[in-house]
Amino acid sequence: MTSTDPLLAGLNPQQAEAVTHAGGPLLVVAGAGSGKTRVLTRRIAYLMSRRNVAPYQILAITFTNKAAGEMKERVAELVGPIAKSMWVSTFHSACVRILRQEAMRLGYSNSFSIYDSADSLRLVTIVAKELNLDAKRYPARQFQAMISNAKNELLGPQDYINAASNQFEQVVADVYTIYQQRLQRANAMDFDDLILKTVEVLQRYPEAKARFRSRFRHVLVDEYQDTNHAQYILVKELVGTEAEGIPLAELCVVGDADQSIYGFRGATIRNILQFELDYPNASTVLLEQNYRSTQNILNAANAVITRNESRKEKNLWSDAGSGAPLVGYVAESEHDEAVFIADEIRQLQKESKSQPGDTAIFYRTNAQSRVFEEVFMRNALPYKVVGGLRFYERREVKDLLAYLRVLANLEDEISLRRIINVPKRGIGDTSLDYVDAFANANSISFWQGLLRCSEAPGLPSRAAQAINDFTSMISALNVLVEAKTRPSVIVEAALEQSGLLKELADSVDPQDEVRVENLKELVAVSMEYEERPIEELGEDEEISLAGFLEKVSLVADADEIPEGEDHGGVVTMMTLHTAKGLEFPTVFLTGMEDGIFPHSRTLGEKDEIEEERRLAYVGLTRARQRLYISRAEYRSTWGAPNYNPPSRFLDEIPEDVIEWRNQGGASLTPSLVRKSRVAVAPPPRATGKKISVMELQIGDRVSHDTFGLGSVVAVAGEAEKAEATINFGQYGEKRLLLRYAPVEKL
């Protein structure tokens, strides 16, 4: 189709069809790199300048504020500043604008507050407290996740009560009811309310609905495959039905079922797969020409995604030629994988084929970034981590490191203050103020003040008890440091005894799963530190907790990396979920092992494996010219080598598009695990399961690797909390956690 219309210039026939379509609903199935943003912006510009639609009659919905801003700018470039008066925003922003006008109908003032996730969690915690619920049995985060899911399904408290089928759901319904009442009392809405309440306004108040229906004559939705049920119903309400007597709004949705990867957030792929059922007179335009990648990359992506049953048939093609074959690499360990990638980036730079700034490294979970960060720092390769903090800046990692810093130095007040109520122990700021005042009055340190907290005037006895339990736990863990226990064992013990691990492991919040993985990664780091070959050790360096903390702080401190022309930009690292919508000339897709990617949580679940495969498709289609795929024969989990089979997605890539640099396999055996300095047994695993621990009685004689002979003077606790106070003569009395103490009964 040749067109003289400048708004259609440079569009292929399918893109032009999507831009000019008029009348019934339109579904644009836009494959990766097929120019969907271009189609959306041109369509909006076409509506205004060729179909005389007023800008205020257009509502365009995107998933991020950044995308909304960019779309507005691009339309303004085409039609001028008039574009600024259209509504281009995220679902949440559009709903806030509607509710600022309509919230009065629901008993809110239009100056209502919007609670973020942290505010909402605080409120849920208060409600649970009010209902006298045991925080261990009923974690607030779990309530928060379940209330959020209910709202995404448009279930209010009453619906939840009616649907409750067991005692636990009944408890959730009670919390949800009071939570919602408290929100209303505070004239506040949480993020999920914004969509729920907008739908409520449109469904309950016909005059309000008529106002928005007659205003928005064109509704455009980007990334339609990522909408949840509440968003889907909102779009339906804004478009309207024949029965209402108002002409339907013209609906255009753009999306790709093959890139639906947010099921864990409540997104439902059925919204796009059943679009034609929801809107029987809908037209579909298929955008299959890809303007991003070479044909080899597309052949790999097409071959993988074709294995999914829940999809609309399409086949991406490019006229950019076949390009370089994909490169496959089987590394010995995750460390070897990171070194290979760093070397390859340097080589590409040397040959002027690709600069670091053109390069991205993708992984399935945030924890995987750690080994890349360390290798890149050592090699002075500049990088940035997107969509997540650098490994050592993540909250849970900082919490565990703060525990370790306190164990290495009991007087470290800042670290003490950070951890004393993490996980929650009922030690609030007011209690700490009393301790602080007492310590200052007696010229003693904060730690000494905590040890003597029962003497602090004004401190409630419950808080004093909680502080005593905390100092008792820290003192017992500190004996491990005195006894020169291996850092990895101390890390494990701190994780378990503090309750950090248990709190995250018991949670149903998907984010907490990621946090557990980050903590596992820190255990692996401590093992790596212990197992360095002799030649890497300083002259008089001994393996110790203080040494480990020093190494970590130096690594974490090397973050200030110069950016600029000299470095050809920086390598970008991110999770696959974050990568959606981006593209890079060179891409490294890492950790391609069953259990890593696809994630262990999804194995055995057909729908979840299909979502993981869509995630692989997103990763593959980010690459423009060069695509590397790597896996490791083994990687450390809790510090022990874990052997994972190759990812099933590797088998789905046609052999003729990928060249393997090395196949791994037979040559790599467990004996090749990096030689450690000493043969060490793996530390006890922090699993949260029942533990069998040596039983001691008062009067028993024991021998300890560091303190020598001693006799038991007191015993307390059981299972993993079992401890004994032992008199070791010249070393005095020591309280030992028996699970970790190298003692033998004589």
Positions marked catalytic: 36-37, 222-223, 259, 622
Yes or no: say if 544 and 582 are a contact pair by the CB < 8 Å rule: no
Which of these, 412, 343, 296, 346, lies nearest to 655 by C-alpha position? Answer: 296
Q: DSSP labels for 480-528?
A: HHHTT--HHHHHHHHHHHHSHHHHHHT---HHHHHHHHHHHHHHHHHHH
**Residues with Cβ within 8 Å of residue 314, at least 6 apart in sequence:** 29, 31, 258, 286, 288
CA distance 341 to 363: 13
CA nearest to 488, candidates 536, 534, 543, 557: 543
How far the first Cα of the chain sits from its last, in Å, is 92
Distance CA(2)–CA(12), nearest Å, equals: 9
CB distance 14 to 287 below 8 Å: yes
- What secondary structure letter does DSSP report for 542? -
Q: How many CA atoms lie within 13 A of 602 on its CB side?
A: 24
610 close to 568: Cβ distance less than 8 angstroms: no
- The tokens describing 557, both together, are 């401190």
Measure the CA–CA gap between 477 and 182, rounded to whole angstroms: 42
User: Using alpha carbons only, what angle is made at residue 428 by residues 427 and 430, rounded to the nearest 5 degrees?
Assistant: 125
- Our measurement of the distance from residue 404's CA atom to the centroid of its chain's CA atoms, rounded to an integer in Å, reads 24
Three-class DSSP category at 716: strand
CA dist 417 and 503 (Å) reads 19
Question: Angle at which helices 461-482 and 395-408 pack, to 10 degrees?
Answer: 70
Can you read off the two tokens belonging to residue 637? 């989990």
Sheet of strand 571-575, all strands in order from the earlier edge strand to the far edge: 383-385, 571-575, 359-363, 584-589, 623-632, 326-331, 658-662
Question: Residue 149, class by beta-carbon neighbours within 10 Å (0-12 exposed, 13-18 middle, 19+ buried)?
Answer: middle
- Tell me the C-alpha distance between 157 and 176, whole Å: 6
- Amino acid (1-letter code) at residue 572: T
What region does 505 belong to: left with phi over 0, alpha with psi -120 to 50, or beta? alpha
Q: How far apart are CA 173 and CA 159, in angstroms?
A: 9
CB 273 within 8 A of CB 267: no
Residue 621: closest CA among 308, 317, 236: 317
User: Alpha-carbon distance 73 to 309, whole Å?
Assistant: 38
CB 712 within 8 A of CB 746: no
Q: Are 212 and 238 in contact (CB under 8 A)?
A: yes
Dump strand ranges (E) for 45-172.
Answer: 58-62, 87-90, 113-115
The C-alpha atoms of residue 51 and residue 79 are separated, in whole angstroms, by 13
